[in-house]
A = this chain, B = another copy of it.
Amino acid sequence: MNGEPAARLVARESRASRTEVVVRDVVIGGAGIVIMAGPCAVESEEQLLAVACAVKTAGASVLRGGAFKPRTSPYSFQGLREEGLALLALARERTGLPLVTEVMDARHLEAVLGCADILQVGSRNMHNYSLLEEVGRCRVPVLLKRGMSATIDEYLHAAEYVLKGGNDRVILCERGIRTFEPSTRNTLDLNAVPMLKHRTHLPVIVDPSHGTGHDWMVAPMACAAVAAGADGLLVEVHPDPVHALSDGAQALTLDGFACLVRQVAAVAAAVGRHLVPGTVSHPSLISAIT
């Protein structure tokens, strides 16, 4: 690892200022904090639209939702795939929110590009260099999740693959690393936030849903992420988490998400930032997290 050539395009010193990734009118990596929210997996039109409208109202500025789902077991729900993309396109049109969704395979790129404003490369594909090269050739922002046991160095090198391909609109996302601790699904590594901001000019967001695996941990860790300097959050929301087809234990309810937004807004203000797009009306009425 130590002998690797430097990841020069992502290095903070390579730019005069931090990179701001602009998606329609949403600026990621500026003074504002961007909340991306939605279901883990698209399950139905009803489910998706319910979540999409609710998260928009509550203050999200990007919609997330998975159509292609990488699952540990081949017998688990793999996503609605092309049908899911069509539903995402609908939700995006209805809400006006830009959309981030995962691409798992270069051969799906064309279909995904038909509706995605941001291409997500998931944790399991952070080391899939063929896919990184492919999204590097696209002209669409890329949300690149940290591999589950990727060092900061390896993560930056993975981003370098995308920039080297010609696409410098990369958003980094800490989503929990693998450690010995069994009480959480992963160990959300917030140290990565100041470390990445120190080493690269790219925006850094945090996924407290996958990072912890417990709905009741999402809000405190989201607040912590923003306090640590994160530029945004990626949060899973479901109208009925108990019956979610994937990852229900970590999904917030619609109300839970609205509550998280208020808490995060208060913390953002405390560190001199604000939520994008600033639609949250009364961030002052915040009760303590605990």
User: Once the chains bind, are A187 and B189 in contact (CB under 8 Å)?
Assistant: yes
Q: Judge if A242 is at the interface, Cβ distance under 8 Å.
A: no
Is the pair A194, B179 in contact by a Cβ cutoff of 8 Å? Answer: no
- Asked if A182 CB lies within 8 Å of chain B CBs, one says yes
Q: Which residues of B contact A273 (CB under 8 A)?
A: 288
Interface size class of A (residues with CB under 8 A): 35 or more
Chain A residues numbered 271-290 whose CB sits less than 8 Å from any CB in chain B: 271-273, 286-290
Judge if A128 is at the interface, Cβ distance under 8 Å: yes
CB-CB under 8 A for A74 and B164, given A227-B267, A270-B266, A288-B272 = yes
Cβ 8 A contact of A151, one of B180, B188, B198, B216: B180
Residues from chain B with a CB closer than 8 A to the CB of A99 are: none
Q: Mark A126-148, 1 if CB is under 8 A from B, else 0.
A: 01111001000000000000001
A154-B272 CB under 8 A given contacts A129-B104, A187-B189, A191-B188: no
19 CB < 8 A contacts A-B: A4-B75, A72-B153, A74-B133, A75-B164, A105-B106, A153-B183, A177-B179, A177-B187, A178-B178, A178-B180, A179-B179, A190-B224, A195-B217, A221-B228, A223-B271, A266-B270, A267-B271, A269-B270, A272-B287
